[in-house]
Amino acid sequence: MKVTILGNNSALPAFGRHPTAQAVQVWGQVLLLDCGEATQIQMQRYGIRWRNMQHIFISHMHGDHYFGLPGLINSMSLLGRVAPLHLYAPAELWPIIEQIQGVAETVLTYPFHFHPLTPGVSERLVDNEYFSVDSFPVEHRIPCHGFLIESKTRGRKILPDKCRENEIPRYFYDKLKQGEDYEKQDGTIVKNEWVTTEGLPPKKYAYCADTLFTDSFLPHIQGADMVYHECTYLEKDAEKAAVRFHSTARQAAQLAKMANTKQLLLGHYSSKYRELEPFVEEAQLVFPHVTASVEGTTYDV
């Protein structure tokens, strides 16, 4: 699982940083988390292919998290998309999309499915053979959700050379992935561990969206391999953060420590700050494994 940062600023673009958007890559599929202004431009810039994207998740109805969506939806149609697209977002977003498309008499070239999020409720949104996605409520000025993405194991990893050496037919590979031994026609047993290795373990990525400091959603992100948490402000502006339902870098680190996560990824920086290093320095006083997200960078979960 990999996370590419397409935008990591709050409210306004500043200092080369754009409003919030992230692309999470899981087993060749792309999940888009939020879609701030210029997201489709950032996707082109950093090589994120919309043809591999079937699911988009919008956390809440503040413009810096969805203003890029109408353009992206339309562009995919202009470029001939035919695969279905699923959008998970607050119910209030649907009439906005309908009106934009209606006044332009837009007819999409692909099936478009809208799934409204239920305010204040955690729920399973996607569950397939590759990954699952759950929503969970966070605490912001308006209803807002975070998202937990969990990849699924694809079983053991096949060693093709060893399989050929032991004359194992390809039709049996799926059973090898499940850990089965292979029996040859003469009765010889080929042990599974001779021709496979341990597969990649499942991963958990928690996207906490815009929220003030709270432990209310801690059970949903407990033990995640990586947690993205907003840090709109530094600790000197903690009072402002609380009033505006945002968090500081130190508070993000406190939650990461409480969640027992392996990595903390910071973002959603206020436009009042040019430099990002102070966010890391402040967070590392509480939690050591901290990275200040940088646009265009891809992070391994």
pLDDT in tens, 178-195: 889 999 989 999 999 999
pLDDT of residue 103: 97
Spatial distance between the Cα atoms of 247 and 25, rounded to a whole number of angstroms: 27
Give the model confidence (pLDDT) of 195-232 as tens digits: 999 888 899 999 999 999 999 999 999 999 999 999 99
Give the model confidence (pLDDT) of 49-103 as tens digits: 999 999 999 999 999 999 999 999 999 999 999 999 999 999 999 999 999 999 9
Region 228-237: what's the mean pLDDT?
98
| 181 catalytically annotated | no
Give the model confidence (pLDDT) of 20-37 as tens digits: 999 999 999 999 999 999
pLDDT of residue 52: 97
Alpha helices in the chain (DSSP H): 39-45, 69-78, 93-103, 160-165, 173-177, 192-195, 218-221, 238-243, 249-259, 277-283
| Active-site choice (34, 64, 210, 225) | 64
Give the CATH superfamily of 2-154+200-300: Ribonuclease Z/Hydroxyacylglutathione hydrolase-like (3.60.15.10)
Region 143-152: what's the mean pLDDT?
98
User: CA torsion 23→117→123→121, rounded to 10°?
Assistant: 120
The verdict on pTM exceeding 0.85 is yes
pLDDT of residue 208: 97
CB of 55 closer than 8 Å to CB of 133: yes
Helix (H) or strand (E) holding 157: strand 157-158
Region 120-133: what's the mean pLDDT?
97
Give the start-to-end residue ranges of the domains of the chain: 2-154+200-300, 157-197
pLDDT at 44 over 90: yes
pLDDT of residue 200: 82
Share of the chain above pLDDT 90, in %: 94
pLDDT of residue 58: 98
Amino acid at 197: T
